[in-house]
Structure 1
Amino acid sequence: MTESRKVVLFIATSLDGYIATKEESLEWLFKVEGEGDNGTSEFFDTIDTVLMGKTTYDWIMEHEGDNSWLYSDKNFYVFTRSSIADTEQVKFISPNIPDFVNKLKKQEGKNIWMVGGGELLYSFLKENAVDELIITIAPTLIGSGIPLFKKGDYHLELLLKGTRKFNQFVELHYEVKR
């Protein structure tokens, strides 16, 4: 029997727990001295599917543009409440999260990257639909902004799988206890 695919959160956060400033800026993240790509390429090799919220998708499109599509070799789904036509690279969906994730996990393939942002992550945490969390912490205090973990009605117990250091960044890798 093949091992089930996992939904993995792979994200960077400030030391005080924010994924972006209140203006949705990530400039603080790029000022930190890392090491290579901080493990991103290695992680990309473990996934073939990307799940993202519409706000995060819009930010990428505004800042990266159509010409530098990063995930062209991945199955790419954007969760939205709006009715939007799919593109060649992106499927826009608004499904029931547990049903959709269970269907994806039963398919052959690599792991599934739950990119974020905060709203989508909150929905996934409430549904206990995340299997692993790989959180890279930047040595930066923002003070306010978009939190990695919204306050809410969820509880997950985690098991530390490992830590790594990428110059000034520290990566924490957790598995959700089932």
Structure 2
Amino acid sequence: MKKERKIVLYIAQSLDGYIATKEDSLDWLFKVEGEGDNGYSEFYETIDTILIGKRTYDWIMEQEKGQFPYPNKDCYVFSRSQSDDTNEVKFVNEDIVNFTNDLKKEDGRNIWIVGGGDILHTFLMEKLIDELIVTVAPTIIGEGIPLFKAGNYQLDLTFAGTRTFNQFVELRYTVNK
């Protein structure tokens, strides 16, 4: 029996739990002194598929000036509206749960849920995430886009370890299913 792929949340947050300011800025994150790429390259080698919400995809493409930042990975963008696929991205306008469960059954490496907040909330509510890797920056931004939105859900986690990258602390958890 083949091993089912895992859905992994890999994300950074402020100490007070925000992934971006209300204006979608990550300037606070880039001000913190890390160590190398803070484990990103190592993580990136463990995945071959990326899931992302349309709003976050648009933000990333704007920040990257149209250059797709995830080459050689299958990338699916969840959107409520129809969009034409590109060479790098397939747009998905179907049931997230069914699509994700089918994707997990395919051969491959782990699947990275990039974000943003809305799509992450759906994945949490539907208990689709298998692992969480959350890197905490020593910054308090006071308000912004929370990593975890309020809702009627609960995930029980098992602590899997920590690592530090200069000022950053990486927390790892597996989701009890």
Fold shared per TM-score above 0.5 = yes
Q: How many residues align?
A: 177
Task: Tell whether the 8 Å contact from 1:97 to 1:127 is kept in structure 2 after alignment.
Answer: no
Q: Deviations over 1:44-81 (max 9, x none)?
A: 000000000111111111110223x2212000001110
For structure 1, the 5+ residue unaligned runs are none
Tell me the CA shift for residue 102 of structure 1. Answer: 1.0
Tell me the CA shift for residue 98 of structure 1. Answer: 1.5
Q: Deviations over 1:90-143 (max 9, x none)?
A: 111122122111111110000000011000000001110000000000000000
SS at match of 1:13: strand
Map of 1:140-159 to 2, 5 A cutoff?
A: 140-159=139-158
Aligned residue identity for 2:56: T
The answer on 1:122 being equivalent to 2:121 is: yes
Which residue of the partner structure matches residue 26 of structure 1? 26
Q: Deviations over 1:7-33 (max 9, x none)?
A: 000000000000000000000000000
Deviates more, 1:93-102 or 1:163-172: 93-102
Which residue of the partner structure matches residue 65 of structure 2? 65
Map of 1:1-178 to 2, 5 A cutoff?
A: 1-67=1-67, 69-178=68-177
Q: Could you tell me the percent identity over the aligned residues? A: 63
| Structure 1 runs of 4+ with >6 Å offset | none
Following the alignment from structure 1 to structure 2, what is the Cα–Cα distance between the partners of residues 11 and 113? 10
Following the alignment from structure 2 to structure 1, what is the Cα–Cα distance between the partners of residues 93 and 155? 24
Following the alignment from structure 1 to structure 2, what is the Cα–Cα distance between the partners of residues 88 and 156? 36
- With normalisation by structure 2, the TM-score equals 0.98
Aligned residue identity for 2:129: V
Task: Tell whether the 8 Å contact from 1:52 to 1:78 is kept in structure 2 after alignment.
Answer: yes
For structure 2, the 5+ residue unaligned runs are none
